[in-house]
Amino acid sequence: MNTNEGFTPGLSPEEQKEQYEAELLADYFARCPEPVIAPEDIREAGPEIAEFEGLIASFESTHSLAELHAITDLTPKEAPMHPVREPAKEALVPITDMLNKLKRETNITPEKHEELKSEYRRLSRAVGMINGGKVDHNR
C-alpha cells in the first residue's frame, strides 16, 4: 500500500493519519476476512457444551483453585517454571479454544455462552495475571 495514496489535500496531519489508519484497517479486513460459518454448517451446541463442562471439571480436579489463589508473588521470569501455576495456565488453552469454537460454530445461545464464559473466568482468575511481581486474581 502506498502511503501517499488516497490522501485528501488540505487535511491536517492528524486527519491524514486517521485516513491512513482507516485505509490500513480496510485493507486488512479485505485480505483477512473473518471466517463465516454457513447456517447449514452451524452445529448443535449440546455435545460441545458437555465437552466444555468436562474440560472445566477436569481442570478443577487436576488444579487446586485454592492453591492457585494462594500464589501472590511471582515474577514473569519465574512464572514459566512455577510447578503449580504454569500447568494450570497451559490447561486453560483448550478451554479457551472450546469456548471460542462454541460461539463461532454452534447454535449456543448468548445467555448460555455467557454462563460458560463466567466459568472460564473463574478458572482464569485463579491462575491470575502477573503484574509488577504480583499475581492479580481479579482480572
Q: What is the pLDDT of residues 89-126, one digit of tens each?
A: 999 999 999 999 999 999 999 999 999 999 999 999 99
6 within some domain: no
- Would you say residue 18 lies in a domain? no
Give a yes or no: residue 36 inside a domain.
no
Q: Which amino acid is at 138?
A: N
**Tens digits of residue pLDDT in 73-88:** 999 999 999 999 999 9
- Does any domain span residue 1? no
Q: What is the model's pLDDT at position 7? A: 58
**C-beta separation of 77 from 139 below 8 A:** no
Find, among 107, 93, 109, the residue nearest to 37 by Cα: 107
- Name, in order, each residue with C-beta under 8 angstroms of 5's C-beta and a sequence gap of 6 or more: 23
pTM of the model: 0.73
Q: Residue 127 sits in which domain range? A: 41-136
- Asked if 112 and 105 touch (Cβ cutoff 8 Å), the reply is no
Chain centre distance of CA 15: 32
Q: Which three cell numbers stand for residue 78?
A: 519465574
Please check whether residue 23 lies inside any domain of the structure. no
Give a yes or no: residue 27 inside a domain.
Answer: no
Residue 25 lies in a domain: no
Q: Measuring CA to CA, which residue among 80, 102, 94, 101 is closest to residue 123?
A: 94
Q: How far apart are CA 138 and CA 123, in angstroms?
A: 11
φ and ψ at 131, to 5 degrees? Answer: -145, 110
When divided into structural domains, the chain yields a total of: 1
Position 10 in a domain? no
